[in-house]
């Protein structure tokens, strides 16, 4: 240990009180390192004289030294407490500054006592200092605990709350607002004093409490107010205040709280909101909200009891100018609204940038009976986005194989082809179902399956099960299968037809012969016109998997089709 350090160590640990005086004098030493070491030794030594000296000189201490003192938790607390309790005019203000700088929360009860004394000349300073300290304590309570500091912030909170709670009965003093704010910073919504004040308009502090909860922008107080949304028995005044607040900081907190959707308790409380202050004049406040906050406002508006016209105005605004997540929610919420304006908005949403918004709008088209809805949905079936395709399929629910099969006999051949193409696009399981029917033991189902395969233009996909039908014991079914396969020219069908030439039944042989001749003619025509493409030339392996293939849109009018299908 170097000699200077040995000197300071002795001065720090010696029981001679003169050492304190020496260390205090050393704080003004000519060399900086000696001054710094003297401060550390003085902090190690402690004692009332040292604390009082530091407190008296607090305004002149450098920021670094103040921090060093503040790092010694409670080192200065006795001197601060003495200055506040004794109301020493010379150092009261300094003690308040030091209390804030050193986070001396134990001083809050003493400051509250001074602030409650209206006659005291220090009441104003004491009130603001108590509020500042409470704010700092609240900050410490809401941040991860630093276990290097031994004091427990929760215990301090309980201790300070008791002192502040005493003032709640006397909220008519000049600094009642500061005291109330300090109290609200630390109290929870279950606090009896707050509940009593909120539920008793005749109480002295009721108006002040309502005013603070309506105006105050301290995050902790805003969170306290918002916590009433989770209360199954929230006071009416608190719910009203939530609706009355129109400041952006509160709307941000509210938006974040409701962003993931309200809980049952929150929904129940939101339904109690009759008015929302920022609507309809300050819709532009929504623009200031972030992605994670705007959805919460959609929930607030939709779940509240404000007029439905106003809700539609908000949804309209959000759907035009809102963020993606809010637009998605609003598009889904639009289902609650009918009428030309809502229908028009839903149609406009089909042009939105976001897939999910477009899908939500597409899902509403049929229910709204919008003219041209089926045309639109058919177009959407070709969308590269799964959500949109699924929405369109849901909107065209009646174009399923089952329904198509039921009305099949009533359709003209042209309508069968057009509807079949649509059914194939809408009903993703149609091909599988036809294939299953082809292997059924029921002759009628097999017959209908062949007709369906032709109507859905799915012979290329179903050529294998069709070829297997050439081995069926029913000669008429075999003939039907040959006719169906004759629409497709490929190696498998030609081989199947050649096998069928050896069929036991002459009609089947004849059908196979004419099918082969038909294919030959088609090939010759193609050779004459080499540029024209033919689907029949597609190799077997090129055919897409059953149920996935999407043929092009039908040429026939879908409006006419719907009439037929219905």
Q: Which residues bind another protein (CB under 8 A)?
A: 2-4, 6-8, 10-11, 14-19, 21-22, 25-26, 29-31, 33-34, 38
Three-state DSSP class for residue 28: coil
Distance CA 206, CA 200 (A): 7
Instruction: Tell me whether residue 42 or residue 126 sits nearer to another protein (CB atom).
Output: 42
Instruction: Tell me whether residue 40 or residue 141 sits nearer to another protein (CB atom).
Output: 40
Please state the closest distance from residue 44 (CB atom) to another protein, in A. Answer: 15
Please state the closest distance from residue 53 (CB atom) to another protein, in A. Answer: 14
Residue position matching structure tokens 């017959």: 447
Please state the closest distance from residue 23 (CB atom) to another protein, in A. Answer: 8
Please state the closest distance from residue 55 (CB atom) to another protein, in A. Answer: 21
Please state the closest distance from residue 65 (CB atom) to another protein, in A. Answer: 17
Instruction: Tell me whether residue 38 or residue 80 sits nearer to another protein (CB atom).
Output: 38
Handedness of CA 124, 125, 130, 136 (dihedral sign): positive
> Do residues 76 and 55 touch, judged by C-beta distance below 8 A?
yes
Instruction: Tell me whether residue 4 or residue 560 sits nearer to another protein (CB atom).
Output: 4
Distance CA 403, CA 55 (A): 90
Q: Which residues of 46-81 are buried (b: 16+ CB within 10 A; e: fewer)?
A: eeebbbbbbbbebeebeeebbebbbeeeebbbbbbb
Instruction: Tell me whether residue 29 or residue 162 sits nearer to another protein (CB atom).
Output: 29
Distance CA 541, CA 28 (A): 95
Instruction: Tell me whether residue 29 or residue 540 sits nearer to another protein (CB atom).
Output: 29
Reading the block at residue 96, the tokens are 């308040």
Rg (CA), the chain: 41
> Do residues 224 and 187 touch, judged by C-beta distance below 8 A?
yes
Reading the block at residue 484, the tokens are 């169906």
Q: How far does Cα 173 stand from its chain's mean position?
A: 44
Please state the closest distance from residue 131 (CB atom) to another protein, in A. Answer: 42
Count how many Cα atoms sit within 13 Å of the Cα of residue 311 in the half-sphere of its side chain: 22
Please state the closest distance from residue 91 (CB atom) to another protein, in A. Answer: 24
Instruction: Tell me whether residue 41 or residue 469 sits nearer to another protein (CB atom).
Output: 41
Instruction: Tell me whether residue 24 or residue 549 sits nearer to another protein (CB atom).
Output: 24
Instruction: Tell me whether residue 36 or residue 230 sits nearer to another protein (CB atom).
Output: 36
Which residues are CB-contacts of 472 (< 8 A; sequence separation ≥ 6)? 446, 478, 481
Environment class of 386 (CB within 10 Å of its CB; exposed 0-12, middle 13-18, buried 19+):
exposed
> Do residues 249 and 218 touch, judged by C-beta distance below 8 A?
no
Please state the closest distance from residue 35 (CB atom) to another protein, in A. Answer: 10
Please state the closest distance from residue 33 (CB atom) to another protein, in A. Answer: 8
């Amino acid at each position: 240990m170097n000699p200077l350090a040995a000197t300071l160590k002795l001065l720090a640990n010696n029981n001679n009180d003169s050492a304190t005086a020496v260390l205090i004098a050393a704080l003004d030493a000519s060399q900086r390192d000696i001054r710094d070491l003297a401060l550390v030794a003085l902090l190690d030594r402690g004692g009332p004289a040292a604390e009082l000296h530091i407190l008296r000189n607090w305004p002149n201490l450098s920021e670094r030294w103040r921090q060093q003192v503040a790092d010694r938790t409670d080192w200065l607390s006795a001197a601060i407490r003495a200055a506040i309790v004794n109301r020493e005019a010379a150092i009261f203000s300094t003690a308040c500054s030091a209390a804030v700088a050193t986070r001396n929360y134990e001083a809050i009860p003493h400051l509250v006592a001074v602030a409650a004394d209206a006659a005291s000349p220090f009441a104003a300073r004491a009130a603001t200092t108590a509020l500042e300290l409470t704010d700092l304590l609240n900050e410490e309570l809401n941040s991860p605990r630093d276990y290097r500091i031994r004091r427990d912030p929760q215990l301090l909170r309980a201790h300070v709350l008791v002192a502040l709670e005493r003032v709640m009965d006397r909220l008519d003093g000049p600094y009642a607002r500061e005291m109330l704010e300090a109290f609200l910073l630390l109290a929870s919504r279950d606090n009896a004093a707050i509940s009593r004040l909120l539920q008793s308009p005749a109480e002295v502090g009721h108006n002040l409490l309502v005013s603070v909860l309506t105006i105050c922008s301290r995050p902790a107080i805003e969170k306290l107010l918002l916590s009433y949304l989770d209360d199954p028995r929230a006071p009416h005044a608190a719910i009203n205040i939530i609706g009355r607040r129109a400041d952006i900081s509160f709307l941000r907190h509210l938006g974040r709280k409701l962003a993931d959707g309200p809980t049952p308790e929150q929904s129940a409380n939101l339904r109690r909101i009759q008015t929302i202050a920022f609507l309809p004049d300050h819709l532009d406040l929504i623009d200031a909200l972030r992605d994670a906050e705007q959805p919460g406002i959609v929930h607030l508006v939709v779940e509240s009891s404000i007029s439905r016209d106003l809700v539609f105005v908000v949804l309209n605004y959000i759907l035009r100018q809102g963020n993606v997540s809010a637009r998605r929610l609003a598009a889904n919420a639009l289902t609650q609204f009918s009428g030309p304006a809502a229908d028009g908005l839903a149609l406009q949403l089909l042009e939105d940038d976001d897939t999910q918004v477009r899908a939500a709008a597409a899902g509403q088209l049929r229910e709204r009976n919008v003219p041209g809805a089926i045309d639109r949905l058919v177009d959407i079936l070709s969308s590269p986005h799964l959500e949109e395709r699924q929405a369109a399929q849901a909107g065209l629910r009646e174009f399923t194989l089952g329904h198509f099969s039921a009305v099949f006999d009533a359709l003209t051949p042209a309508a069968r082809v057009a509807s079949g193409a649509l059914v194939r696009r809408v009903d993703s399981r149609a091909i599988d179902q036809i294939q299953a029917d082809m292997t059924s033991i029921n002759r009628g189902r097999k017959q209908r399956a062949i007709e369906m395969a032709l109507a859905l233009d799915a012979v290329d996909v179903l050529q294998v099960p069709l070829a297997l039908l050439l081995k069926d014991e029913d000669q008429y079914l075999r003939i039907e299968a040959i006719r169906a396969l004759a629409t497709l020219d490929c190696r498998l069908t030609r081989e199947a037809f050649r096998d069928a030439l050896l069929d036991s039944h002459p009609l089947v042989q004849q059908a196979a012969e004419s099918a082969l001749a038909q294919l030959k003619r088609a090939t010759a025509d193609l050779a004459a016109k080499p540029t024209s493409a033919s689907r029949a030339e597609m190799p077997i392996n090129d055919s897409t998997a059953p149920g996935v293939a999407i043929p092009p849109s039908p040429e026939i009018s879908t409006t006419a089709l719907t009439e037929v299908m219905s």
